[in-house]
Structure 1
């Protein structure tokens, strides 16, 4: 089965094989693996050991995103969130339910946010100290200009919390170039092509220490994750982790480095996206985004206007042809979501386009 969703993604056989072992999380050999991963992640993030630290949290991206918001935005403080997608809406809910004051900045979900969108809102309300934003929106496929916004925030003396869940490892955001960024978060099962189950925050150590006491949650306190590591060692884990996922992630990092790292992975994903985008246009389908706004992670497509079309029936027809896509959408207009990331090749994507065309004929047969 070819898995074309924006995470958890298709994985390599070597990554799957690493899961087939029993592991004690406190075992010294495994602690070396865990400590090594934390150091390697700082490198992938373009950070500096001693300035930045990797702070893992068990669970899905929502867990580590909430932990970042709770830790780096004080209770009762304002946080600005550019609202141009489903995952921005989820970020706003996480912040609001954690007792933070969310200032929503409404934007269209068909283009990425820029500093020109963000800075007037901050100038209008100087009491806003932090911007929290999604780097890559997997509802529509847009990419927000995280680097440009980050530079503007730095100049203005504001802070950034970056949800890079579906971007990290492909889209660049070197932390050493962005001292305004308190933390970026991502998960194991996206662009680094590991198995799902653990989220990672890469944070400034000085800021994590300064924000101790903010979280209001022991489980979701990144300052406490840091304090535990400094007290018990970087191979130590506070609570029982998904150890097989961590072992597989170590292998996924090996494969990432062997491929050539961020630039090479982004190049492959962009090639996949281009083949998919051109292919669906050739099939007579309409992409949700204009080509100049299309990111490299997911292509979102308007559903056919034919009243006979049913998304779930199409997903099942495509599944019978060996390709699995999401059976839901996150846009206001009815769409289909097709991922371009994971351990998939341009040839896989060409096969997927052919399968999409055949599945459309299955659910929308032409009149004889």
Structure 2
């Protein structure tokens, strides 16, 4: 069974096998494992030891995003969040419920955020301290230019929080070249092809030391995680971690390195997305995004405009054929979404395309043209 969703992703058998050994997270034999993973993650992010720190947090990407907002945006502080889609909306909700003031920035959800628009919004409101950006917006598939937007943030003298949850490990990131970036957050179970249960933040040390007391939460305090590491060592968690997940992640990082790192992973995912895009067109289906803005992480495809169409029936039939896709969508119009990430190849995508064709015939879908009826 292949998971063609944007996380958790299909993993290699060796990664899953690494979960079969029990670990005691307080044991001295476990500590070097965690310390090593931290070092490897820091290097992938382009972090500099002493200037940046890699911090793990139990839970999904939303946990790390909430921790980042709570830690770096002071209580009552104002954060500009471009409304790129559902995951930007979630960051905004996390910020509001943490007592931060969200300044929304309306943008077209089928296009990358304009750095000039961000710059203008910051110039219009000098009370904004941070920008929260979703690097890869899963709901649409659009990739946003974190470097160019970071330059606009830096020029305005503000700070950047980057949600790299579905981007890290595939899309370029060099946090050392972006001093305006307080933190980038991500998870083990997306482009790094590990298992779910653990999220990470790579953050500036000076930002962490200046954020003590901001979080208002012991669990979601990256500054406290950093302080704990200084006290107890880089192999120590504050609270019980998903130890087996961390062990599997170490194995996933081994495969990441063998494949050739970020550039090689991006190349494979890009090939997956290209194969999928062309395949959908060949079947008479229409991707939701223009090719020039379609990212390599996830693709949304317009649902057929046929009365026999049922997303759940389509999903169920594909599952019988060996493929799992999402049974929901976040686009304005009915669609289905397919992840291009994980331990899958263009050959797997070709098999999926054939399965889609067969399933549409089986379901009696005669009109495959795009549905334009708003959800």
Q: Which TM-score applies when normalising by structure 1?
A: 0.98
Deviates more, 1:271-280 or 1:107-116: 107-116
Tell me, what secondary structure is at the counterpart of 2:182? strand
Q: What's the offset of the Cα at 1:27?
A: 1.1
RMSD over equivalenced CA pairs, Å: 0.9
Tell me, what secondary structure is at the counterpart of 2:20? coil
Partner of 1:17: 17
The whole-number CA distance in structure 2 between the counterparts of 1:252 and 1:114 is 35
Q: What's the offset of the Cα at 1:65?
A: 0.4
1:110 equivalenced with 2:114 (yes/no):
no
Deviates more, 1:11-20 or 1:150-159: 150-159
Partner of 1:256: 256
Partner of 1:100: 100
The whole-number CA distance in structure 2 between the counterparts of 1:140 and 1:277 is 14
How many residues align? The count is 367
Tell me, what secondary structure is at the counterpart of 1:18? helix
Tell me, what secondary structure is at the counterpart of 1:89? helix
Partner of 2:328: 328
* Unaligned stretches of 5+ residues in structure 2: 368-375
Contact preservation (8 Å) 2:272, 2:345: yes
Tell me, what secondary structure is at the counterpart of 1:288? coil
Q: What's the offset of the Cα at 1:117?
A: 2.0
Q: What's the offset of the Cα at 1:360?
A: 1.1
The whole-number CA distance in structure 1 between the counterparts of 2:309 and 2:365 is 10
Partner of 2:119: 119
The whole-number CA distance in structure 2 between the counterparts of 1:122 and 1:249 is 38
Q: What's the offset of the Cα at 1:365?
A: 4.9
Partner of 1:191: 191
Tell me, what secondary structure is at the counterpart of 1:71? helix
Which whole-Å deviations, capped at 9, do the CAs of 1:83-119 have from their partners, x for residues lacking one?
Answer: 0211000000000000000000011110111212211
Which whole-Å deviations, capped at 9, do the CAs of 1:220-249 have from their partners, x for residues lacking one?
Answer: 000000000000000011000000100000
Residues 123, 316 of structure 1: alpha-carbon distance in 2 compared, 3 angstrom cutoff: same
Q: What's the offset of the Cα at 1:364?
A: 2.2
Q: What's the offset of the Cα at 1:366?
A: 5.0
The whole-number CA distance in structure 1 between the counterparts of 2:87 and 2:351 is 30
Which whole-Å deviations, capped at 9, do the CAs of 1:193-232 have from their partners, x for residues lacking one?
Answer: 0000000000001101100100000000000000000000
Tell me, what secondary structure is at the counterpart of 1:62? helix
Contact preservation (8 Å) 2:309, 2:365: no
Partner of 2:372: none
Which whole-Å deviations, capped at 9, do the CAs of 1:42-81 have from their partners, x for residues lacking one?
Answer: 1000110111111111011111100000001001010000
The whole-number CA distance in structure 2 between the counterparts of 1:96 and 1:366 is 46
The whole-number CA distance in structure 1 between the counterparts of 2:39 and 2:210 is 22
The whole-number CA distance in structure 1 between the counterparts of 2:121 and 2:153 is 12
Once the two structures are superposed, the pairs formed by residues 144-223 of structure 1 within 5 Å of their partners are: 144-223=144-223
Q: What's the offset of the Cα at 1:152?
A: 1.7
The whole-number CA distance in structure 1 between the counterparts of 2:184 and 2:61 is 11
The whole-number CA distance in structure 2 between the counterparts of 1:366 and 1:206 is 60
Tell me, what secondary structure is at the counterpart of 1:129? strand
The whole-number CA distance in structure 2 between the counterparts of 1:336 and 1:144 is 22
Residues 151, 366 of structure 1: alpha-carbon distance in 2 compared, 3 angstrom cutoff: closer
The whole-number CA distance in structure 1 between the counterparts of 2:99 and 2:333 is 31
The whole-number CA distance in structure 2 between the counterparts of 1:55 and 1:266 is 24
Partner of 1:364: 364
Tell me, what secondary structure is at the counterpart of 1:184? strand
Q: What's the offset of the Cα at 1:151?
A: 1.4
